[in-house]
């Protein structure tokens, strides 16, 4: 039984796995990590191994607490991965992207897989059927695009994501929704189609905080898997425990 900790840019996810089975998942703020972990420990007192992936930051107090409670594994470029990493700068590859690719190896072995993570940023990661990770792309996420329109102009309002009513926005708010959301949808569909020109048997995974919002609007055929990153972290821990 293991605890998986995914420290994102906005929230922190805590998940308990028993082998491959996800038993529990909760989302907390940075200030609530210790309390959240204590609750989990009370429920699963034999839990003593954890893996942490961090693209955000944790307070030293929180890190010390986790180290005192678990045999803590921290995901980094030095960790053994279940795929061949052909990224030209492997030390700069985000740990979240490593975990997503690991999950694809576990669930879709020997397939050409494009993993799209729609969160604070939108990342595209590709691994081929020969288990070689080739790289991908990084793009601004949905809310980042809304924020940019507000922060870098004098009068445009700050909006939250909303499915556009029409392609043609008939008000400033609707024009922003159309521009941001349709821009993201066309970007994702366009990237998928370009990959399919070279890999006709492509498997496409969509995950991340905006996956549910986007999945019903995309034209391309995808697997929407919200817990893909957590599953990848759990698999990396298993993979390194079996050395």
Residues contributing to the annotated binding site for substrate:
87, 94-97, 172
Rounded Cα–Cα distance for residues 123 and 58 (Å): 23
Find tokens 């796995």 and name the residue. Answer: 17
Question: Helix or strand or coil: residue 235?
Answer: helix
Q: What are phi and psi of 39, to 5 degrees?
A: -60, -45
Q: Of the listed 20, 39, 96, 227, which one is catalytic? A: 96
Rounded Cα–Cα distance for residues 137 and 197 (Å): 17
| Angle at alpha carbon of residue 71, lines to 70 and 72, rounded to 5° | 90
**Burial of residue 19 (number of CB atoms within 10 Å: 0-12, 13-18, 19+):** exposed
Binding-site residues from annotation: 6-13, 87, 94-97, 117, 120, 172
96 catalytic residue (yes or no): yes
Rounded Cα–Cα distance for residues 184 and 214 (Å): 9
Active site residue ranges: 96
């Amino acid at each position: 039984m293991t605890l998986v900790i995914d420290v994102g840019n906005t929230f922190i996810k805590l998940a308990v796995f028993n082998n491959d089975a996800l038993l529990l998942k909760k989302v907390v703020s940075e200030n609530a990590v210790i309390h959240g972990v204590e609750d989990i420990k009370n429920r699963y007192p034999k839990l003593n191994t954890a893996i942490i992936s961090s693209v955000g930051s944790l307070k030293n107090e929180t890190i010390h607490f986790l180290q005192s409670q678990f045999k803590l594994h921290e995901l980094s470029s030095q960790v053994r991965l279940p795929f061949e990493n052909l990224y030209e700068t492997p030390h700069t590859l985000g740990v979240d992207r490593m975990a997503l690719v690991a999950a694809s190896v576990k669930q879709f072995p020997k397939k050409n897989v494009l993993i799209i993570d729609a969160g604070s940023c939108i990342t595209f990661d590709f691994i081929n059927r020969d288990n070689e990770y080739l790289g991908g792309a990084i793009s601004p996420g949905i809310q980042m695009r809304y924020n940019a329109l507000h922060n870098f102009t004098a009068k445009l309002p700050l909006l939250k994501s909303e499915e556009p009513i029409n392609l043609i926005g008939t008000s400033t708010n609707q024009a922003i929704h159309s521009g941001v959301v349709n821009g993201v949808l066309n970007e994702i569909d366009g990237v998928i189609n370009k990959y399919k020109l070279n890999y006709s048997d492509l498997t496409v995974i969509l995950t991340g905080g905006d996956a549910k919002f986007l999945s019903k609007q995309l034209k391309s055929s995808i697997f929407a898997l919200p817990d893909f990153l957590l599953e990848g972290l759990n698999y990396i821990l298993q993979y390194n425990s079996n050395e």
